[in-house]
Amino acid sequence: MEQKNFYITTTLPYVNSKPHMGHALEFVQADVIARYQKMLGKALFFNTGTDEHGQKIYEKAIAEGKDPQAYCDEYAEKFKVILTKLNILSEIHFIRTTDPHHIKAAQHFWKLCEENGDIYKKNYKVKYCVGCELEKTDSELVDGKCPIHPNLELQEIEEENYFFKFSNYQRPLLDFYEKNPDFVVPDFRFNEIKNFVEGGLMDFSISRVKEKMPWGIPVPGDEAQVMYVWFDALINYISTLGWPEDSTQFERFWGTIETPNALQIAGKDNLRQQSAMWQAMLLSAKLPTSKQIIIHGFITSEGQKMSKSLGNIIDPFEVAEKYSTDALRYWLTREMNTFEDGDFTWDRFAESYNGGLANGLGNLVSRVMKMAFTNEVSVTREMDFATDAAFESFRSHLDRYEIKKAADEIWKLIAELDKKIQETEPFRLVKTEPEKAKEIIKELLAELWKIAYMTAPFLPETSEKIFFALRNPKELPMPLFPRM
């Protein structure tokens, strides 16, 4: 029986810098999936927010001479603004890890794992990457550096902290993966995490000494320590539902142990945290696991990872301002490979805009609506797509979260309609066989209804404009995408 409630969450960005294109990618991918599920009539819980504790944020706030909470407040607002700019669904839930309820939920989660015997205290010494917020073994380093954050110096940490018994969950995780063969999408990422777990798991630190790093949630029963990263941030996925108090909403959207319901989307640098560490934590707390994890790649620029030091960071605000929000959403969903890295350059973006939007979708809508206007043709009833092959292919791709492939189905249809216009030439046929020409124009209008419907999760503003034009054929619409 198909679940009528749908839960999706992004990861929570750290507030140590303003939103970048990687954040925009994840927000838009999640939004496409959420809008599609909403179109299917499902009740939706869509979560995002900001991760506001930890050493990176504390150090950044101090460096800027700001109170950490005031610093977090400022940056949380920047992320709320980018959600609006990207036209993310307005009913999205925005959680902050400094919210009082989240703090209580994280402490309650800690106690559940502690009661299960999975939390203990020990002295240790480790190499630590602040960028990843993870301990690093020598085998994970390249030339003594973290391969993901090669510009950051590794920290040598030596202190007494609490640890989570991750090592207890090697067999339970492998059994879980075997029972859920599509748990991580795509397959090659699933193989990656299975290989990691098969290689053996090391317990990981979940607290820091408050005297050294005060910006965190107090450890229950030990005010000298604060929770660090994973036993704080990851809990947001369930605290946002009102857990542990609101068991009804929690079960409705997160699911049960027998029927988990939560879909999570994350970047490839979060694979381990989301698909292994978080699942082990849920098993320890005796809570339902996630249902699936979708892993996307990075956005590079000229083949290099975007970074401040290289000066190649692309601001999503700037792209949306220059070209439009839907133009940015188009690039993120159709030009980016859904599961792998994609390269952004301004030239390539402009080429994509002109080819796919100005000369593609925009030009088709203008041509068809002009013929409908000139010949007083309209289609009063939206067509039934239930048995339509293109629509079924579109749906099957989105059911598997293949966002780019679903978008490609739309542009395949656009190309077919362009071809149909070239072959039938209804604009010429009206002079010799007006009734036949009108019939062809009606067919084109019916196909535009389908395109408007299929486009809605990807380019919501453009979809609305097409629907408006179809319902008002006596008005010629403005060009959807003026050529740049």
**Rg of the chain in Å (alpha carbons):** 25
17: tokens are 């810098």
pLDDT digits 0-9 by tens, 442-452: 999 999 999 99
All structural domains of the chain with their residue ranges: 5-296, 304-471
Residue 479, sorted as left (phi over 0), alpha (psi -120 to 50) or beta, turns out to be beta
What is the reported pLDDT for 386?
61
The C-alpha atoms of residue 348 and residue 261 are separated, in whole angstroms, by 38
Confidence of residue 104 (pLDDT cuts 50, 70, 90): very high
* Superfamily of domain 304-471, CATH level 4: Isoleucyl-tRNA Synthetase; Domain 1 (1.10.730.10)
Across the strands, what pairs with 264? Answer: 9, 293
Q: How many C-beta atoms surround the C-beta of residue 81 within 10 A?
A: 13
Convert 381-412 to b/e letters by CB count within 10 Å (16 or more is b): eebebeebebbeebbebbeebbbbbbbebbbe
pLDDT digits 0-9 by tens, 265-310: 999 999 999 999 999 999 999 999 999 999 999 998 877 777 666 6
What are the phi and psi torsion angles at 196 (to 5°)? -60, -45
What is the reported pLDDT for 382?
60
The C-alpha atoms of residue 221 and residue 223 are separated, in whole angstroms, by 6
Fold classified for 5-296: Rossmann fold (3.40.50)
Q: 255: which DSSP letter? A: B
> What are the residue numbers of the active site?
20, 23, 129, 132, 146, 149, 305, 308
- Helix crossing, 68-85 with 55-63: angle to 10°? 100
pLDDT digits 0-9 by tens, 176-211: 999 999 999 999 999 999 999 999 999 999 999 999
User: Are residues 116 and 168 in contact, defined by beta-carbon separation less than 8 angstroms?
Assistant: no
| DSSP assignment of 64-123 | TT--HHHHHHHHHHHHHHHHHHTT--TT-EEEETTSHHHHHHHHHHHHHHHHTT-EEEEE
Q: Which amino acid is at 448?
A: L
312: tokens are 């190649």
